[in-house]
Amino acid sequence: MKYIILICDGAADWSIESLDNKTIFESSKTPNMDWIATHGKMGLLRTIPEGMAPGSECGNMSIMGYDPKTDLTGRGPLEALSAGVSLKEKDIAFRCNLITISEGLIKDYNAGHISTREAKELIKVLQKELGGEGIDFFPGVQYRNILRLQGDIYSDQIYTTPPHDVLDEPYKNYLPQPKDPNDKIAVSTVRTLKRLIQQSNDLLKEHKVNRHRKKHGAPVATHIWPWSGGKKPKIKSFKEKYGLSGSVISAVDLIFGLGIAAGLKPIHVKGATGLPDTNYEGKINAAMEELKKRDFVYLHIEGIDEMAHTGNPKKKIDALEKFDKNIIKPIIEAEKNFNNNLVIAVLPDHYTPCKLRTHSREPVPFAIYNPRKYQDKERKFSEYNGKKGELGLIENGESFMKLFLNLDNNEIPT
């Protein structure tokens, strides 16, 4: 058997007044997702466990068959893995934004969308002046860089704050804090991070990249801001856990990081943008190639979520319809060539209600099509039909993955 999971990031939504109180799924023309729903089985999946923030890393980790409660250690290590930064067991990796602080307030979490080229120059000077002895800066994409701390003298038992959550707030209120003020290693780690934030300002404020930005009226990258630090997830590989080899296809670092942590092969597709203009055809071709070589493919499409964050239902519908036409349709067509040996699941990783313009935590609808369990029960892919579905509410990702792999009654390898 071969298996493919198709993710429409953030597609689940609430009913929307301007759409006659229908949801995005209900208002979109998605004949191909509806085909999966009609000939497959539906249910709801709790991708965001109680007490966890509804991030994409959490939602996708669940769908990959892991438990974010025990397995998720932060964005930092996932992005580091995706960027090819090596992490030993005790290393701690942080997302390290370049941000703008002015008059003591966090004015911009991305330093005016600083370019990758400019950011690289700044990270280089930080590494030269502040790096070494277990402290290392790695360039990433634009403002999204990595800070790695190595050695027994550092702890991951600290609180940090995502800078986008505290815009226009005094930065001093949101500096890293130890979880336990009596934890000496955590206290000393926090001291190091605060020192790096301060020293980054000394090095960055007069850097030529920033002088040039100032001259052109662009926000200056005044400080680094490390957050969501953690150690590499200690998880069994997908192969060990479920007995299958696999690949992950996406445009998003976090998703690649999850895949790499699970031992899936990351497939980078040229022209994959994370927006509705992404290279769908390239992604489908890559998926088909991977299915020849491996058992399982995880194909993630980000653009729908991006449109939900704009709060514009029309843009979100358009992005979802593109997903249906450019991803689901070719997969259904290709399925005919698999001699009843391709199982397909389609689902979002979490809700991103247009009204909220951010993620929310309700269980998401899913549909699983197994050609050996073909049925004909005409229905649309929607939140409501997921709730009414024959598979009911699945409480966690491991149960979902077992269900997905077991639908043909094959032995589950674990």
Residues in contact with Zn ion by CB under 5 A are 9-10, 56, 305, 349
Q: How far is the CB of 186 from Zn ion (least distance, A)?
A: 30
Q: How far is the CB of 102 from Zn ion (least distance, A)?
A: 31
118 vs 208: CA distance, rounded Å: 10
Does residue 132 sit in helix, strand or coil?
A: strand
Q: With beta carbons less than 8 A apart as the criterion, state whether 354 and 313 touch.
A: yes
Angle (deg, nearest 10), helices 184-204 and 116-130: 120
Query: What is the bridge-based pairing of β-strands 41-45 and 393-394?
Result: parallel
Kindly tell me which of 209 and 272 has the beta carbon lying closer to Zn ion: 272
144 vs 96: CA distance, rounded Å: 6
Kindly tell me which of 349 and 362 has the beta carbon lying closer to Zn ion: 349
How far from 239 is each of 5, 47, 243, 413, CA to CA, in Å?
Answer: 16, 21, 4, 9
- Identity of the amino acid at 79: E
Sequence-ordered list of residues with C-beta below 8 angstroms from that of 370, at least 6 positions apart, any chain:
40, 41, 343, 407, 408
Q: How far is the CB of 56 from Zn ion (least distance, A)?
A: 3
Kindly tell me which of 136 and 306 has the beta carbon lying closer to Zn ion: 306
Q: How far is the CB of 9 from Zn ion (least distance, A)?
A: 4
Q: Which residue is nearest to Zn ion (CB)?
A: 56
Q: How far is the CB of 350 from Zn ion (least distance, A)?
A: 5
Q: How far is the CB of 305 from Zn ion (least distance, A)?
A: 5
Q: With beta carbons less than 8 A apart as the criterion, state whether 119 and 145 touch.
A: yes
Smallest CA-to-CA distance from 307 within 1, 11, 7 is with: 11
Kindly tell me which of 200 and 228 has the beta carbon lying closer to Zn ion: 228
Smallest CA-to-CA distance from 344 within 326, 363, 330, 361 is with: 330
Q: How far is the CB of 304 from Zn ion (least distance, A)?
A: 9
Q: How far is the CB of 348 from Zn ion (least distance, A)?
A: 7
Q: How far is the CB of 170 from Zn ion (least distance, A)?
A: 30
Q: With beta carbons less than 8 A apart as the criterion, state whether 274 and 252 touch.
A: yes
Dihedral sign for Cα 220, 222, 226, 227, please.
negative
Beta strands in 290-363 (DSSP E): 296-301, 342-347
Q: How far is the CB of 364 from Zn ion (least distance, A)?
A: 10
Kindly tell me which of 253 and 305 has the beta carbon lying closer to Zn ion: 305
Neighbour-count burial of 337, counting CB atoms closer than 10 A to its CB (0-12 exposed, 13-18 middle, 19+ buried): exposed
Kindly tell me which of 56 and 382 has the beta carbon lying closer to Zn ion: 56
Sequence-ordered list of residues with C-beta below 8 angstroms from that of 373, at least 6 positions apart, any chain:
40, 41, 407, 408
Looking at the DSSP bridge assignments, the partners of residue 76 are: none
